A and B are shown apart, each in its own frame.
Chain A
Amino acid sequence: MTIDWDWIRRNLLEGSIWQATQEHLMHTVIAVGVGLIVSFALSLAVLRWPRTYAPITWVTGILYTIPSIALFTFLVPIFGLTSIFTAQVALVSYTLLILIRNIVAGIRGVPDHVVEASRGMGMTERRIFLDVQLPLALPAIIAGVRVAAVTTVGLVTLTVIVGQGGYGLFILRGIGRRFLTEALVGTLLAVLMAIVIDRGLVLLERLATPWAQRRRPA
């Protein structure tokens, strides 16, 4: 079992590795992006009507526990075998629980006295949310996005079974043909993408929350 360097060189030059990377990234970004939008809307509902929190986490919790292959299979009759919707509905579903929990916890974690002082100075509720609560919840929200993004990169490797591209194609083909190099390239690139996205988000958090980086010397 040796690495077929020639295969790697050829696929790099022909662009199929690059194409798989683009597809993989696109699926991840769409899933996390749409997941964030949906989670945000649901979180707003939870913050306004706290009673909705239990049912929302219950439903998204069930979605989270369904094995991904089973979920794809279940969605095939609805959207078709090779539809991007089949892949995305499943991927988005998996991001919801973690994102909603982090958004809600982040907003609720803003100290009461900060909110009260903001109100006492004459900020409107809308401004308190946008200018105070949301920025202060950023570290928690970004922490949620990191987990969701890394999970999604892994799950996207499975969307090959519903006809999508990405690194999953290398892995599936490599295993099928018992061709180690191809399967290994798909796997390692997926891991690399997860690490790069995760580090990128850490960097984004640092840039977006300068107040949390500076602390008074003891």
Chain B
Amino acid sequence: MIRLESVRKVFPGATAPAVTSLSLEIPEGEFVTLVGPSGCGKTTTLKMINRIIEPTSGTIEVGGQDVLSIEPHLLRRSIGYVIQQVGLLPHRTVEQNIATVPRLLGWPRDRIEARVAELVEMVGLEHEMRDRYPAELSGGQQQRVGVARALAADPPVLLMDEPFGAVDPIVREHLQMEFKDLWRRLGKTVVFVTHDIDEAVRMGTRVAILNIGGVLEQYDRPEEILANPASEFVARFLGEERGLRRLGLLPVSSATLERGPVVDVSAGPTEARAVMDRHEVDWVGLLDGNRLLGWVPASEIGSTPLRDLEPREFLVRLRPDDSLRRALDAVVTSRTRVGVVVGDEGYLGMLDVETVAEEITE
């Protein structure tokens, strides 16, 4: 879908090229994040795709067409563009901002009207906001308008330059999740620049890690990059919490669950003690069929039937699609040192530190 071949950019007066010779292929429908330290040419690369910056040499194709063969302003109307400072037109209302590209394309008024209404809903804005000016919106709302505006003419490709960089962390995480959902529904090809490796691996279906001068160090699925960094540079860039980041991408269901120290409430105290001995723990989980009731400490198991005990709650019950990072958190913060996994059908099993560690090193 987007193809860069031996693309080079030397800014006038610069001693070294911003991008030396970059070749990159971005298949249709992928969410590619470009990440690297400042000076790695990630933004320059992005801006060469819609010719905000003209390459010194090399070829860039979008949808099979050489971008240099299309008038820049016509090319840009077919590519969505979102930047960090949003760049909403301060003198235009939300509605007018979103309608910018459709108007440039000369859509009839009622079609623009309908499209704006659709987009306002799609990005989660209130309809009352349509007549507001950008200065009357919060940072997060402005960024939503920015996304809506980029999507207005339904372009197949979306270029995003640190789009969530200027909003506070809580709003950012929210916008990231929402945007990823939106991407899944719309199936656009997205090129997304960030300097934040966490954002890069969380958002991208593929991650391109760039070194100074636009050198492509690794281009792969995020799990793969975290598991097998291709170079010393990539390993260093991923940082010390590489293992944890990888866990953040893997679901609990990918780990091998154990049944763990659990007994059915119909069992007797003797069997409960046997289970605890076998697992070398001082507590036991109670099941009623498939239903996980909770756990009781060894000290409470005497002659009373298990059914009459009052089990304590597991503070965190994991779902199969939760991340292993969350599972690890549940393990280390719980009294029982395990994470229990419960699906729609009831108890699935539990995992402990060992299980999670295996996934990191795998």
Residues of A within 8 A of B (CB): 111, 113-124, 132, 135-136, 209-212, 214-216
In the complex, which of the residues A116, A121, A215 contacts B100, with contact meaning CB atoms closer than 8 Å? A121
Residues from chain B with a CB closer than 8 A to the CB of A215 are 135-136
Provide the bound-state CA to CA distance between A160 and B331, in Å: 93
B149 at the interface (CB under 8 A from A): yes
Provide the bound-state CA to CA distance between A119 and B136, in Å: 24
B: contact size bracket: 20 to 34
B104 at the interface (CB under 8 A from A): yes
In the complex, residue of chain B having the shortest beta-carbon distance to the beta carbon of A132: B89
Main secondary structure of the interface of A (DSSP, over half): helix
Contact present for B86 and A116 (CB under 8 Å): no
Between-chain CB contacts (< 8 Å), 8 pairs: A115-B87, A116-B83, A117-B88, A119-B52, A120-B50, A121-B101, A211-B90, A211-B91
Residues from chain A with a CB closer than 8 A to the CB of B138 are 216
In the complex, which of the residues B76, B87, B135, B159 contacts A122, with contact meaning CB atoms closer than 8 Å? B76
Contact present for A136 and B91 (CB under 8 Å): yes
B31 at the interface (CB under 8 A from A): no
Which residues of chain B from 75 to 96 have a CB within 8 Å of any chain A CB? 75-78, 81, 83-92
Q: Determine how close the nearest CB of chain A comes to the CB of B249; give it in whole angstroms.
A: 31
In the complex, which of the residues B77, B87, B135, B159 contacts A114, with contact meaning CB atoms closer than 8 Å? B87
Residues of B within 8 A of A (CB): 50, 52, 73-78, 81, 83-92, 100-101, 104, 132-133, 135-138, 146, 149, 159
Residues from chain B with a CB closer than 8 A to the CB of A123 are 73, 100, 104
Contact present for B83 and A117 (CB under 8 Å): yes
Interface centre among A111, A120, A124, A211 (most CB of B within 10 A): A120
In the complex, residue of chain A having the shortest beta-carbon distance to the beta carbon of B134: A211
Contact present for A120 and B83 (CB under 8 Å): yes
Residues from chain B with a CB closer than 8 A to the CB of A212 are 91
Residues from chain B with a CB closer than 8 A to the CB of A136 are 90-91
Q: Determine how close the nearest CB of chain B comes to the CB of A134; give it in whole angstroms.
A: 10
Contact present for A211 and B85 (CB under 8 Å): no
Interface centre among A115, A117, A211, A212 (most CB of B within 10 A): A117
Q: Which 8 A-B pairs have the closest CB atoms?
A: A117-B87, A122-B77, A120-B81, A122-B76, A113-B85, A113-B87, A216-B136, A211-B133
Provide the bound-state CA to CA distance between A209 and B50, in Å: 32
Provide the bound-state CA to CA distance between A210 and B96, in Å: 14
Q: Determine how close the nearest CB of chain A comes to the CB of B285; give it in whole angstroms.
A: 52
Provide the bound-state CA to CA distance between A132 and B92, in Å: 9
Residues from chain B with a CB closer than 8 A to the CB of A111 are 85, 87
In the complex, residue of chain A having the shortest beta-carbon distance to the beta carbon of B84: A113
Contact present for A211 and B76 (CB under 8 Å): no
Contact present for A211 and B135 (CB under 8 Å): yes
Contact present for B74 and A118 (CB under 8 Å): no
Residues from chain A with a CB closer than 8 A to the CB of B136 are 214-216
Residues from chain B with a CB closer than 8 A to the CB of A211 are 90-92, 133, 135
Q: Contacts A211-B133, A214-B133, A214-B135: A120 and B76 contacting too (C-beta < 8 A)?
A: yes
Contact present for B91 and A122 (CB under 8 Å): no
Q: Contacts A113-B87, A117-B87, A122-B73: A216 and B81 contacting too (C-beta < 8 A)?
A: no
Provide the bound-state CA to CA distance between A209 and B92, in Å: 10
Residues from chain A with a CB closer than 8 A to the CB of B146 are 117
Provide the bound-state CA to CA distance between A122 and B87, in Å: 14
Provide the bound-state CA to CA distance between A209 and B136, in Å: 15
Contact present for A121 and B90 (CB under 8 Å): no
Q: What 5 new A-B contacts, CB under 8 Å, besides A117-B86, A120-B87, A123-B104?
A: A117-B81, A119-B52, A121-B76, A122-B77, A132-B89
In the complex, residue of chain B having the shortest beta-carbon distance to the beta carbon of A216: B136
Residues from chain B with a CB closer than 8 A to the CB of A119 are 52, 73, 76
Q: Determine how close the nearest CB of chain A comes to the CB of B153; give it in whole angstroms.
A: 9
